């Protein structure tokens, strides 16, 4: 059974002990006023106890006198006082709230409200004439109820007016929460109580017990707490650092100034989490409008993510006022979960290039700026003309010349053709035409349709030429004609297949269909005529003329293709001068 004092003759019934300082002889009780049935707080000064002295009793008298003059909802009202055999008692209004010294957790917004409410009480005290300096602002003397109402209690150490405190009251206060000027008995100002409030808020934010707050203070009395709250908004860090500056002139001047400077931003800033760290976009059509979504989420409760998109300047990009080819919608937002869409206009980009750009999201988070890398690939544009593949043409010409030279040499050895060009031509040309047509059939069956067309055209020309009577002389015997046809057929088939394959290759290189057929045919004719002429020591005028004519036509085609390519390239370069470079 608890041994509570009996205050019944003063109409008070004690329920429990709220706190005590046995050395100083001070005990606080929760009691009920039996006259009104209202709960009250009774603070008893037991001056008969060991350690008690009349200086402490004087502090009670000062507190009573001060409380009688104070009228603020955040300060429990003085009700009455009485004297007992054990000591002097003061009765105050009871507030059903617990002190900040008790183990509790507060949301960031609640800590902000605690700071505002405490500063408003200090503003009231400092606006009095003369101002009241509490001198013992600490977690144990700040009460908060369940709905968030805040109360400042224990005015036993309060000092009226600014100035130096007496020697007897140097120790009045709590170590760790007393500013250096109070600790060293120097002049107090309205900024003195701000130090205790700042240290109290640091205790709440860092989850530091009141008796361990000294661990955060270095030898120069500077408070180091940032490492314990790495995600605390920098505005709040700066504000708290100014509240607990060791030198009084570096602190806020008074509670009014501190309240005005209180950061509007939340204590813990929001965060931004991206669905993509890099965007890779590829156009499938020239001038395509590309769109890619980006999800942004803020996981921090009781905060609001705000952001503004900006395109990081690039030396190749035009001025934003003139043209902006990368945009984001919405460009600004205030939301905790939002889908932003990145739009890329490729109409003024160089075809077949890769662009690297960077978007910046400026936010109200701790990181302030986030970067989102973009990689944009434009589709290549097929040129209407391609460079003439000289290496392929040279290979085709050498192939035709070599084969025709070999077959002509065989014909000379067999006596079908004389070294001076004695040749009926009928059998050879007709056989070559048949061989070319056979090659065309083989190419068509292998799906080389354009190559088969070129081979068929060559077969028609040679067949018509052979039917007109040959190159020179009269028609030989049937056996000779048959032998000529066999040799011509072999050569025609081999040349035809080579011709068709080279035409298909020229198409792959980008030459148009008609141009590929014409250039391949002229190259083959030039090669064949030069090969036969070489074996016959250039003794056949018709073949020499054929070589000269085909070479001239081939040269004209090549020059025309080259001029067209040059004109196209110049036009493209002229156009690209006005395009955005990678």
DSSP state at residue 152: E
pLDDT confidence tier of residue 48, bands split at 50, 70 and 90: low
* pLDDT, tens digit, 9 for 90 and up, residues 388-431: 677 777 787 787 777 777 767 766 666 565 544 444 455 666 66
* pLDDT, tens digit, 9 for 90 and up, residues 112-126: 999 999 999 999 999
β-pairing, 159-160 vs 132-133, is antiparallel
Measured distance CA(186)–CA(165) in Å, rounded: 7
What's 334-387 look like in SS3? ECCEEEEEEEEECCCECCCCEEEEEEEEEECCCCCEEEEEEEEECCCCCCCCCC
Out of 110-119, 316-325, 469-478, least confident range: 469-478
Question: Which CATH number is 8-93's, of 3.60.21.10, 3.60.150.10, 3.30.200.20, 3.90.550.10?
Answer: 3.30.200.20
Neighbours of 329 (CB within 10 A): 12
pLDDT confidence tier of residue 448, bands split at 50, 70 and 90: confident
Which residue is associated with the tokens 């000294």? 214
Contact (CB, 8 A) for 262 and 239: yes
Over residues 527-552, the mean pLDDT reads: 71
Residue 170 pLDDT greater than 50, yes or no: no
> What is residue 201's predicted lDDT score, i.e. its pLDDT?
96
Domain 273-377, CATH class in plain words: mainly beta
> What is residue 513's predicted lDDT score, i.e. its pLDDT?
80
Residue 143 pLDDT greater than 60, yes or no: yes
Q: Does a cis peptide bond (omega within 30 degrees of 0) precede residue 408?
A: no
Measured distance CA(53)–CA(136) in Å, rounded: 20
β-pairing, 278-282 vs 369-377, is parallel
Q: Where are the domains of the chain?
A: 8-93, 99-260, 273-377, 390-568
Return the bridge partners of 332, or none: 308
Phi-psi region for residue 209, left (φ > 0), alpha (ψ -120 to 50) or beta? beta
DSSP state at residue 267: S
Q: Which residue has the higher pLDDT, 348 or 546?
A: 348
Mean model confidence pLDDT for the chain: 82
**H/E element, 197:** helix 192-206
Over residues 296-314, the mean pLDDT reads: 90
Q: Which of the residue ranges 142-156, 172-186, 404-418, 420-434 has the most confident prediction, judged by mean pLDDT?
A: 142-156
Measured distance CA(259)–CA(243) in Å, rounded: 11
Over residues 560-573, the mean pLDDT reads: 71
> What is residue 60's predicted lDDT score, i.e. its pLDDT?
74
Over residues 90-101, the mean pLDDT reads: 93
> What is residue 169's predicted lDDT score, i.e. its pLDDT?
45
Neighbours of 386 (CB within 10 A): 18
Concatenate the DSSP letters of all residues of 456-518 into one string: HHHHHHHHHHHHTT-SSS----HHHHHHHHHHHHHHHHHHHHHHHHHHHHHHHTT--HHHHHH
Residue 58 pLDDT greater than 90, yes or no: no
> What is residue 22's predicted lDDT score, i.e. its pLDDT?
58
pLDDT over 90, % of the chain: 38
pLDDT confidence tier of residue 466, bands split at 50, 70 and 90: low
Which residue is associated with the tokens 């077969």? 459
Enter the pTM of the model: 0.58
Out of 195-199, 277-281, 438-442, least confident range: 438-442
**Number of C-alpha atoms within 13 angstroms, CB side, residue 561?**
21
Q: Topology of domain 99-260, per CATH? A: Transferase(Phosphotransferase); domain 1 (1.10.510)
Phi-psi region for residue 283, left (φ > 0), alpha (ψ -120 to 50) or beta? beta
Listed residue (176, 31, 169, 166) closest to 89, CA to CA? 31
Residue 580 pLDDT greater than 70, yes or no: yes
Measured distance CA(524)–CA(534) in Å, rounded: 15
Q: Which residue has the higher pLDDT, 244 or 4?
A: 244
Q: What length is written for the chain?
A: 582
Residue 25 pLDDT greater than 80, yes or no: no
> What is residue 419's predicted lDDT score, i.e. its pLDDT?
47
Residues contacting 103, CB < 8 A, separation 6+: none
The domains spanning 8-93 and 273-377 adopt the same CATH topology: no
Q: Which two tokens stand for residue 532?
A: 């036969």
Q: Which of the residue ranges 23-27, 48-52, 97-101 has the most confident prediction, judged by mean pLDDT?
A: 97-101
Measured distance CA(479)–CA(428) in Å, rounded: 12
Q: Does a cis peptide bond (omega within 30 degrees of 0) precede residue 540?
A: no
Q: Which two tokens stand for residue 290?
A: 């590309």
Measured distance CA(305)–CA(338) in Å, rounded: 10
Q: Which residue has the higher pLDDT, 186 or 142?
A: 142
Counting other chains too, the contacts that 406-412 makes at CB distance below 8 Å and 24 or more residues apart are: 406/531, 407/487, 407/488, 407/490, 407/491, 408/531, 408/532, 408/535, 408/536, 409/535, 410/487, 411/484, 411/487, 412/535, 412/536
Over residues 501-516, the mean pLDDT reads: 75
**Dihedral over alpha carbons 142, 145, 151, 156 (to 10 degrees):** -60
């Amino acid at each position: 059974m608890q041994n509570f004092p009996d205050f019944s003759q003063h109409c008070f019934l004690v329920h429990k002990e709220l706190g005590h300082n046995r050395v100083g002889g001070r005990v606080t009780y929760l009691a009920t006023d039996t006259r009104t049935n209202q709960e009250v707080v009774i603070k008893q000064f037991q001056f008969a106890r060991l350690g008690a002295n009349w200086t402490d009793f004087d502090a009670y008298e000062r507190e009573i006198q001060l409380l009688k003059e104070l009228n603020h909802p955040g300060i429990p009202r003085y009700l009455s006082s009485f004297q007992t055999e054990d000591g002097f008692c003061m009765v105050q209004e009871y507030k059903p709230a617990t002190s900040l010294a008790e183990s509790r957790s507060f949301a960031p917004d609640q800590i902000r409200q605690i700071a505002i409410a405490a500063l408003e009480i200090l503003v009231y005290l400092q606006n009095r004439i003369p101002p009241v300096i509490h001198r013992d602002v600490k977690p144990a003397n700040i009460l908060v109820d369940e709905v968030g109402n805040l109360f400042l209690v224990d005015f036993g150490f309060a000092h009226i007016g600014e100035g130096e405190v007496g020697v007897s009251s140097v120790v009045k206060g709590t170590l760790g929460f007393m500013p250096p000027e109070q600790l060293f008995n120097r002049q107090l100002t309205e900024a003195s109580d701000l130090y205790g409030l700042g240290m109290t808020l640091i205790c709440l934010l860092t989850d530091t017990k009141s008796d361990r707050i000294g661990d955060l203070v270095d030898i120069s009395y500077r408070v180091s707490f940032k490492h314990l709250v790495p995600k605390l908004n920098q505005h709040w860090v700066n504000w708290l650092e100014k509240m607990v500056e060791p030198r009084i002139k570096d602190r806020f001047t008074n509670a009014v100034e501190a309240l005005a400077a209180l950061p509007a931003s939340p204590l813990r800033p929001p965060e931004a989490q991206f669905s993509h760290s890099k965007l890779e976009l590829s156009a499938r059509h020239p001038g395509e409008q590309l769109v890619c979504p980006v999800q942004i989420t803020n996981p921090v409760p009781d905060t609001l993510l705000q952001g503004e998109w900006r395109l990081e300047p690039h030396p190749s990009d035009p001025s934003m006022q003139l043209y902006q080819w990368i945009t984001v919608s919405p460009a600004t937002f205030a939301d905790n979960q939002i889908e932003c869409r990145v739009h890329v206009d490729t109409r003024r980009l160089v075809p077949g290039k890769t662009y690297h750009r960077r978007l910046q999201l400026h936010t109200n988070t701790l990181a302030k700026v986030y970067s989102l890398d973009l990689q944009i690939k434009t589709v290549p544009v097929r040129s209407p003309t391609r460079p003439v593949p000289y290496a392929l043409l040279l290979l085709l010409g050498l192939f035709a010349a070599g084969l025709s030279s070999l077959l002509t040499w065989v014909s000379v050895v067999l006596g079908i053709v004389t070294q001076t060009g004695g040749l009926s031509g009928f059998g050879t040309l007709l056989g070559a035409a048949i061989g070319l047509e056979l090659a065309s059939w083989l190419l068509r069956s292998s799906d080389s349709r354009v190559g088969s067309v070129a081979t068929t055209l060559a077969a028609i020309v040679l067949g018509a030429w052979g039917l007109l009577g040959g190159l020179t002389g009269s028609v030989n015997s049937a056996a000779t004609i048959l032998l000529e046809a066999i040799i011509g057929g072999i050569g025609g088939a081999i040349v035809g297949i080579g011709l068709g394959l080279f035409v298909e290759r020229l198409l792959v290189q980008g030459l148009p269909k008609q141009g590929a057929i014409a250039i391949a045919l002229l190259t083959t004719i030039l090669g064949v005529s030069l090969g036969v002429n070489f074996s016959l020591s250039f003794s056949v005028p018709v073949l020499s003329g054929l070589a000269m004519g085909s070479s001239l036509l081939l040269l004209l085609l090549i020059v025309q293709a080259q001029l067209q390519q040059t004109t196209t390239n110049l036009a493209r370069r002229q156009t690209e001068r006005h395009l955005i470079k990678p």
